[in-house]
Amino acid sequence: MAEQLYPGLYRIQIPLPESPLKYLNSYVIKGQERNLVVDTGLNRDVCKKAMMEGLNELGISLETVDLFITHLHADHFGLVSQLAGENTRIYFNRPDSELIEHWQGFEPMIKYGGQSGFPEDLLRNALSNHPGFKYGAGWVPQLSIIEDGQELVVGDYGFVCIQTPGHTQGHTCLYEPEKKIFIAGDHVLYNITPNIQCWSDQGDPLGEYLASLDKVRDLEVKQALPGHRHLFERFAGRIDELKDHHARRLEEVVYILQKISPQNAFEVASQMTWDLTAKSWDDFPLAQKWFATGEAISHLRYLELENRIGRAANQPVILYEPA
């Protein structure tokens, strides 16, 4: 079902079975000759069915559709291979496209997970059974690379592409300055916090994410259109809440290490506060332990670069302690 949000701008809710996110918000902007779909859903029949029913309801033929994908994750990118035709332009950011080009599989992540205290056999099992792995794009069509600040005009809408790294290296949002609409992808969500993971000693995903929040905070936004859950109006306020959340998270990690050190990332994650109904860390679903440990590593990495914590050991398991 397609829901009109503004003249010529619609939302189609794409179901995400087996995911706590429940559905993806896919946005459709009608143009004169070409139409734009923002984000697609998983590479699953149920997702394609919802997408095609929504487009048919709007009288839009797939042959007239171009795609804008906010970031690489399968719930946004996965259905691209089912929707793209010979004439489809797929707008996508350069950093995430380079990840596709240099993809080495999950083994580097699994190896680093082992160094972080996550049993490698369990991590391999979590990844192989994760919907994002099972329902990713089967093949990747040619991509039209978009740059930070590039303009994209569709119908009555003139969007500015704003690169907001953190959730992924090249995550990109769309901002309509005249109508003050912000298509947020997974950068700013209303009542859940975007997952910021780290699985290497390279980069600083959390630092990049916090900087990306600052980058867009002062934009005039009447309504944010996120990739999941509810649309919302209190844009700057929500960004402040997300920054406060991570500030508290960082203090929690320091406190955990001050109580007992040294500890590895898997151990730290087991003591952090998580918004799940599981009674204990042992009861956590394996996939959620993966998310939690990746999030813990991103906070440990940030604190390490800030010289607030250090490493007591680097091999075979990385152990952290207060600086």
Q: How far is CA 180 from the centre of its chain?
A: 22
d(CA 256, CA 254) in angstroms, rounded, equals 5
Q: Which of 190, 211, 241 is the last residue of a domain?
A: 241
In the chain, % of residues over pLDDT 90: 87
pLDDT the model gives residue 129? 78
Query: What integer is the mean pLDDT of 57-65?
Result: 98
This prediction has a pTM of 0.96
pLDDT in tens, 129-150: 777 778 887 778 899 999 999 9
State how far the alpha carbon of 208 is from the alpha carbons of 22, 40, 84, 93, 107, in Å: 27, 25, 31, 16, 24
Please indicate, yes or no, whether residues 212 and 285 belong to a single structural domain of this protein. Answer: no
Number of domains in the chain: 2
Note down the domain range covering 291. 115-129+250-322
**Is there a domain that residue 288 lies in?**
yes
Q: Residue 184: inside a domain, yes or no?
A: yes
199 and 259 housed in the same domain? no
92 and 193 in a single domain? The answer is: yes
Asked, for residue 100, whether it belongs to a domain, the answer is yes
pLDDT in tens, 234-265: 999 999 999 999 999 999 999 999 999 999 99
Average pLDDT in the chain: 95
- Tokens, residue 170: 């090249």
In a domain, 110, yes or no: no
Distance (Å, whole) CA 187 – CA 205: 12
Which of these three, 206, 221, 241, is where a domain ends? 241
Q: What tokens does 195 get?
A: 């997952």
**84-143 pLDDT per residue, tens:** 999 999 999 999 999 988 888 888 999 999 999 999 988 888 888 777 778 887 778 899
Beta-carbon count within 10 A of 284 CB: 18
**291 CB contacts (<8 Å, ≥6 apart)?**
195, 197
Residues 18 and 69 in one domain: yes
Last residue in a domain, options 221, 241, 261: 241
CB 170 within 8 A of CB 208: no
16 and 164 part of one domain: yes
Enter the tokens of residue 153: 């005009």
pLDDT (0 to 100) of residue 269: 98
